[in-house]
Amino acid sequence: MMGIDDVKRREVLLANLDEGGFIVLYSGTAPDRSADGQYPFTVSRNFYYLTGLDREGFVYVAHKLNGETHEVVFIERPDPDKEKWTGFRMREEEARERSGIDKVMYREDFEPYLNRLLLRGEFHEVYLDLEARRLDGPFSLAQQFAATLRDRHSYLTIKNAYPIISALRRIKSDDEVEQLRKAIAITGTGLERLWLYARPGLTEYQLEAHFDFALKMAGVQETAFPTIVASGANATVLHYVENNRVTQEGELVLLDLGAQFGNYCADISRTFPISGRFTARQKELYEIVLKTQAAVIAAVRPGFPMKELNEIAKKTLTEELLRIGLIKEESELGRYYYHNVSHFLGLDTHDVGVYDGELEPGMVITAEPGLYVAEEGIGIRIEDDVLVTADGAEVLSRAIPKQVEEIEAVMATRERL
């Protein structure tokens, strides 16, 4: 469709390099946890987007000299002894095939290689992936390398590759949309299992376990983000992740979850009655959120300002809450709705994108209005993933039940278990 494919992505990046310029991108390393343990590794999204490689400790280097561009990817050297402890490493041939980069070297050659380049004294600029990060957070590998270059090669101009890469990532290719479809389909499978096993008395994390089980049976080991299972009043806390409360008869449960497939993230929210049937009040509020979401999705098309989607959500919610008497004037809406209705989706759950800009074909966004009535112990959010098409929108997650009758029908089949 629209976005560009792997090899062309690097062409665009390298087109920014001047004569005497080079670029260094890191795949990243797993953060330390405790003692010799580490958290699971998440590949740098920009590194993966450009190379198709998602292993730890890899580095991509490209440079332009005498009108010619050279690319190298440095990978970890497979060590048969180490592999008995930590598993197989990617081989040279595989790295070459996946990335389309002919020259593959080992990681220990990275510094000597760069030294040889820099000692030629012919370079004047370097591109690094300097994503905006907190002042008080840990230094990224790119930030550390930038500091080294500033100390030892202070004549070099350091430039930021991040905006170039993220501009490309905003528009998804057919292949990327396909990965998202798979992530979403598997998320739907997980939700179905969670609903089939849901009943009052289970803890929130036990509901989560059914989702996780279905994902793993579908061949997916990772969620896109920490799963939110929020019952009763917990659902009025937007990013509730404790998931340790016992669900009670008659409550609504808010789920915000997603599988990750091929490093692409699904992000779906559903809200359902733990006992199988919505009460009249729950249904009244639920239908308002559903109607709001429909109004938002109906507005999605190329040229529509991203920011305006939230105005549509607020307008519909305000009208409806005035109608049922939950609020008396427009200014009170903030008590019951206090987030944004949409974000970009892709390799990151909160993906790159410009919130001041207009929607374009190939962008994927979420549509996720909510209503949070703390005094009634009710929190509702309904979230779908939406592709902006040439002339409108396609709801990628349309197969996942969300109408009151559909959810009640799924829950009704629990009796057969």
Residue 334 backbone phi and psi in degrees, to 5: -60, -15
| Cα radius of gyration rounded to whole Å, the chain | 24
Q: What is the DSSP string of 234-263?
A: GGGSTT-----PBP-TT-EEEEEE-BEETT
Window of 107-115, 265-273, 307-315, 397-405 that interacts with Mn ion by CB under 5 A: 265-273
Helix (H) / strand (E) element for 310: namely helix 308-324
265: its two tokens: 């993230």
Decide if 266 contacts 260 (C-beta within 8 A).
yes
Q: Which is nearer to Mn ion, 51 or 260 (CB)?
A: 260
Minimum CB distance to Mn ion smaller for 76 or for 384: 384
Q: Is 260 in the site for Mn ion (CB under 5 A)?
A: no
> In angstroms, what is the minimal distance from the CB of 351 to Mn ion?
10
Tell me the closest approach of the beta carbon of residue 410 to Mn ion, in angstroms: 22
- Which is nearer to Mn ion, 51 or 227 (by Cβ)? 227
Nearer to Mn ion by C-beta: 212 or 267?
267
Please report how close the Cβ of residue 257 comes to Mn ion at its closest, in angstroms. 10
Among positive and negative, which fits the CA dihedral 394, 43, 224, 133?
negative
- Distance separating alpha carbons of residues 92 and 341, to the nearest angstrom: 44
Q: Are 211 and 226 in contact (CB under 8 A)?
A: no
Other Cβ atoms closer than 10 A to 316? 19
Of 370, 388, 390, 389, nearest in space to 380 by CA: 370
Angle between helices 204-217 and 174-197 (to 10 degrees): 130
How far apart are the C-alpha atoms of 101 and 402, rounded to whole Å? 45
- Which lies closer to Mn ion via its Cβ, residue 53 or residue 388? 388
Q: Which residue, 206 or 269, is less far from Mn ion as judged by CB?
A: 269
Nearer to Mn ion, 117 or 241 (CB): 241
From the CB of 307, what's the least distance to Mn ion, in Å? 16
Q: What is the DSSP letter of 175?
A: H
> Smaller CB distance to Mn ion: residue 255 or 373?
255
Query: What is the smallest separation between the CB atom of 158 and Mn ion, expressed in angstroms?
Result: 34
At closest approach, how far in Å is the CB of 269 from Mn ion? 7
Distances (CA, A) of 96 to 13, 77, 92, 263: 19, 14, 6, 19
Piece in contact with Mn ion (CB under 5 A), picked from 229-237, 246-254, 263-271, 386-394: 263-271
**Do 398 and 387 form a contact (C-beta atoms < 8 A)?**
no
Binding flag, residue 267, Mn ion (CB under 5 A): yes
Contacts (Cβ under 8 Å, ≥6 apart) of 159: 125, 126, 127, 128
Residue 20 DSSP label: T
Determine, following the binding rule CB under 5 A, whether residue 348 of this chain makes contact with Mn ion.
no
The answer to whether 42 and 143 have CB atoms below 8 angstroms apart is: no
Give the x/- contact pattern for Mn ion in 116-155, rule: CB under 5 A.
----------------------------------------
When asked if residue 176 is in the footprint of Mn ion (CB under 5 A), the reply is no
Q: Shortest Cβ distance from residue 385 to Mn ion (Å)?
A: 9
Smallest gap from Cβ 328 to Mn ion, in A, equals: 30
Q: Which is nearer to Mn ion, 319 or 394 (CB)?
A: 394
Smallest separation, CB 170 to Mn ion (Å) = 17
For 34-43, the CB contacts below 8 A with 24+ separation are 40/222, 43/263
Q: Which residue is nearest to Mn ion (CB)?
A: 267
Count of residues touching Mn ion (by CB under 5 A): 2
Q: Least distance to Mn ion from the beta carbon of 267, Å? A: 4
Binding mask 356-385 for Mn ion (x = CB under 5 A): ----------x-------------------
Judged by CB, which is closer to Mn ion: 267, or 320?
Answer: 267
Q: From start to end of 249-302, where are the E strands?
A: 252-257, 260-261, 264-265, 268-273
The residue range among 22-30, 124-132, 150-158, 262-270 that interacts with Mn ion, by the rule CB under 5 A, is 262-270
Interface positions with Mn ion (CB under 5 A): 267, 366
